[in-house]
Amino acid sequence: MSKFRNFAAGIGGATALTLVLAVNFGDRFVTPLPDLPEREVVIAPAPVADAVMAANADTAAEGANFGLGRPALPEEVAAWDIDVRPDGLGLPEGRGDIFTGEELYIAQCASCHGDFGEAIDRWPVLAGGQGSLTDDRPTKTVGSYWPYLSTVWDYVNRAMPFGNAQSLSPDEVYAITAYILYLNDIVDDDFELSHENFAEVRLPNEENFYLDDRAEMELAAFSTEPCMENCKEAVEITARAAVIDVTPEESASEEAMAEAAPAEEMAAEEIVEATATEAAPAEEAASAGPDPELVAAGERAFRQCSACHQVGDGAVSRTGPHLNGVFGRTAGSLDGFRYSPAFTEAGEGGLVWDAESLHDFLMQPRDYISGTRMAFGGFRNDSDIDAVIAYLQSYSE
Amino acid sequence: MSDETEKTGKTGEAPSRRAFLKGAALAGGAAMVPASVRAEPDPLITEVQPWAQFLGEGVDARPYGTPSPHEAHVRRRHVEWLTADPISSVNFTPLHELDGIITPNGLCFERHHAGIAEIDPGDYRLMINGLVDNPLVFTLQDLMRFPRENHVYFLECAANSGMEWRGAQLNGCQFTHGMVHNVMYTGVPLRLLLQEAGVQTSGAWVLPEGADASAMTRSVPLEKALDDCLVAFKMNGEMLRPEQGYPVRLVVPGWEGNMWVKWLRRIEIGDQPWHHREETSKYTDLFSDGRARRFTWEMDAKSVITNPSPQAPITHGPGPTVVTGLAWSGRGTIPRVDVSLDGGMNWVQARMSGPSLDKSLHRFYHEFDWDGRPLLLQSRAHDSTGYVQPTKDQLREVRGVNSIYHNNGIQTWAVDETGVTENVEVS
């Protein structure tokens, strides 16, 4: 990792420069803080602070200070300090192979990132794109762009699957990370990733990142006294937003839009299906339906579902099927939605959604229908489930 | 009450935004009639209006005040095609509806990576760990017992104007420039908390981490953390809004918004940067040679004319006209802004107004007598280091069109004879 150390040294230089700039024009409007001894005098007379300072005597003796806060326990640090660095610092022991990773990936990741990392809708693409960074439209993936494998491990571990973060075991994160490497043709199918071989894996694009060099490349060039009069002979309009016409409705002037020619290629490429998303308020529930308070609680709890599912006026299927009319619907039966084979089978086997079956499914989705693509791990308590069921029921007639 | 009064009372109620714009354009077209000429006396003056006659609501009717219903169109908006889902997405500050330099709390743009974390302040904990002598845990009450400071700072997303690299695309300064806001923060200097924990001599970097479901992390050099970062709990005098990190967020003055970690739960000290997702796969600037800049933290000087702009056309016709806008720099203050009415052929210095604070939005005005001819409006910020905001073409020459972030090029609005305004680029 000597290369890395050099790099970190470079950073030190850059930040020193930053600090100089900040000192030069910072603090003109800053209320200066009193010096430390003065602050101690302010705090000291308070009996509560005295007690805390006594408990924290070491801290106070070392010249730090206010005696506020309490020591973090090792178990607490272990629970929150989950970050991982390129040199492997922070990685827990564990291992996972491609085969295990594929199973987990299909179950937990593919509904957004696609079976081959190609991504559904505008969710992040994870694989491919090698050699595309100089293209007109680069594809930035783990294989084509990301500099360090530790970033993949860290992010999967801290934030994935989307909507059920920090639910994967270390072995599972190793396996999924290994599978993402495999999808990017960086390892063979007999590869196993572990804490032992982690630092040996280098991503192809690591060398192509460099430190902010605006200070050398831009600041001087952009710091000259500009022209004020007769700076150019003529001015022509070279591009018009109205021609592209991708501004949300109700915001640009209609008259400007009326001038617009038919949309050009750029617009067609940029626009991904736009669908109405505003869910109707719960008050619109049928009068004979479930308890309004429960429905309102369900609307709140449904946030855990709304990354993938829509319900209400204008709801459409996205990552998950829309849930209008889910009550009484046969499982896996919504036209046009690509269910997991397990879900389709469950429907063919006669599973119909009602309060009871939804309850059991939402408690432990993957136990109830083994092989479902739904990444959600289940609600933690019955009251959320009952509320969500009431909420869904309000959109089922 | 006369029929006339009844009628005016009704039409006076919140017209739709679209109807307003339509009316505005008509007024612009027929605008040669001086405003002072009127055939009939104005019933709004000659007749007693209901609000002048009858009693209004008492003091407790609005215990937390909200804007007039006539201002219902003043709101954050998002661009649906930008992202896969509103949970990990962004909306935009309606800059064209605001004046002065302070952004109202409810209009500050939002950017979430896993939605809004809802945290009971009693459940809030902040941990400091890593290369420190004393790993500590603070409650919110603990934080509020440290000495506080107040500072006005802008927060700009690195991707602000990122949709405009390939040319004019979105018709409205809310969408082209609305990923910026400016509020007064109250908070504890991060250096005091770090002193409390005792940073070891090997410490060189800090890693702030959010408590939301994306557990947002960024590597911040220790020098910056000790310099002017704040652990803030109030904005514009009141507690942070949930969507801005309630109850505690990090403030990293002048640096890209992604580093201002919301729902701040932990600060780790280390001897190297972590190279996490938001500083490798995102928030790095890809150039046309296939290489990418990293750690581009400071926000370059930038400005935009907020009025007129596509969502706020000129509706009054020729005559006295106010051009106004905002300017800011992550490296200091904005002593000067130039304005051009002819697409950059000729420039005049705008009038700066309001406080000039370090790393804060600045307000500028240029008043002129519009003769009704088409305009190509531009503004150009100068910051206190002598940096002058470049044109978009100057930036593209250095960076290409695929860097997404840090687009601070000069914006052009084309105003036609009727006052209708459009986002354009010029030669």
Contacts of A283 (CB under 8 A, 6+ apart): A292
Give dist(CA B320, CA A177) in Å, integer: 63
- Cβ pair A87:B272 closer than 8 A: yes
For residue B218, give the chain A residue with the closest CA.
Answer: A83
State the pLDDT at residue B214.
97
The pLDDT tens digits of the residues spanning B323-351 come to 999 999 999 999 999 999 999 999 999 99
Domains parsed from chain B with CATH numbers: 3-71 (no CATH), 95-293 (3.90.420.10), 302-424 (2.60.40.650)
Cβ contacts of B150 on chain A, cutoff 8 Å: 31
ipTM, two decimals, is: 0.90
Mean pLDDT of chain B: 93
Domain boundaries of chain A, sorted by first residue = 2-78, 83-208, 241-270, 282-393
Assessment of whether the complete model's pTM goes beyond 0.80: no
Give dist(CA B18, CA A262) in Å, integer: 22
- Cβ pair B424:A71 closer than 8 A: no
Of B82, B213, B313, the CB nearest to A159: B213
- Measured in angstroms, the CA of A350 and the nearest CA of chain B are apart by 33
- Cβ pair B172:A274 closer than 8 A: no
The pLDDT tens digits of the residues spanning B21-64 come to 444 444 444 445 555 788 999 999 999 999 999 999 999 999 99
Average pLDDT value for residue range B160-164: 96
For residue A246, give the chain B residue with the closest CA.
Answer: B170
Does residue B319 register a pLDDT over 90?
yes
What six digits make up the tokens of A270? 């940029």
Which run of H or E residues covers position A284?
none
Give dist(CA B410, CA B305) in Å, integer: 10
- Measured in angstroms, the CA of B154 and the nearest CA of chain A are apart by 14
Q: How many CA atoms lie within 13 A of B295 on its CB side?
A: 23
State the pLDDT at residue B21.
47
State the pLDDT at residue A328.
84
* DSSP-derived secondary structure for B264-325: EEEEEEESS----GGGTTSS-EE-TTS-EEE---BPPPEEEEEESBTTB---S-SEEEEEEE
Of A209, A213, A226, the CB nearest to B284: A209
- Cβ pair A165:B134 closer than 8 A: no
Closest to B174 in 3D by CA, of A251, A35, A301, A94:
A251
- Measured in angstroms, the CA of B72 and the nearest CA of chain A are apart by 13
The pLDDT tens digits of the residues spanning B67-120 come to 999 999 999 999 988 888 888 899 999 999 999 999 999 999 999 999 999 999
- Cβ pair B213:A248 closer than 8 A: no
Q: How far apart are the first and last CA of chain B?
A: 59
Peptide bond into B221 cis (omega under 30): no
Give dist(CA B420, CA A259) in Å, integer: 11
What 3-state DSSP class applies to A97? Answer: strand
- Measured in angstroms, the CA of A372 and the nearest CA of chain B are apart by 22
What 3-state DSSP class applies to B376? Answer: strand
Cβ contacts of A210 on chain B, cutoff 8 Å: 291-294
At the topology level of CATH, where does A83-208 sit? Cytochrome Bc1 Complex; Chain D, domain 2 (1.10.760)
Closest to B229 in 3D by CA, of B210, B246, B251:
B251
State the pLDDT at residue A274.
30
Cβ neighbour number for residue A264 with a 10 Å cutoff: 12
Cβ contacts of A166 on chain B, cutoff 8 Å: 215
Average pLDDT value for residue range B243-264: 98
A83-208 and A282-393, same CATH topology: yes
**Domain over A282-393 is classified CATH 3.40.50.300:** no
Of B80, B198, B292, the CB nearest to A248: B80
3-state helix, strand, coil in chain A (%, to 5): 45, 5, 55
Pair B202, B131: CB distance under 8 Å: yes
Does residue B218 register a pLDDT over 80?
yes
Q: Output the 3-class SS for A278-347.
A: CCCCHHHCCCCCCCHHHHHHHHHHHHHCCCCCCCCCCCCCCCCCCCCCCCCCECCCCCCCCCCHHHHHHH
- Cβ pair B276:A83 closer than 8 A: yes
Cβ contacts of B214 on chain A, cutoff 8 Å: 158-159, 165
Entry field: residues in chain A: 397
Of B81, B228, B386, the CB nearest to A272: B81
Give dist(CA B50, CA B72) in Å, integer: 22
- Cβ pair A29:B84 closer than 8 A: no
Which residue stretches of chain A have pLDDT < 50? 1-63, 251-287
Contacts of B373 (CB under 8 A, 6+ apart): B417
Torsion of CA B304, B309, B310, B315, to 10 degrees: 180
Pair A26, B358: CB distance under 8 Å: yes
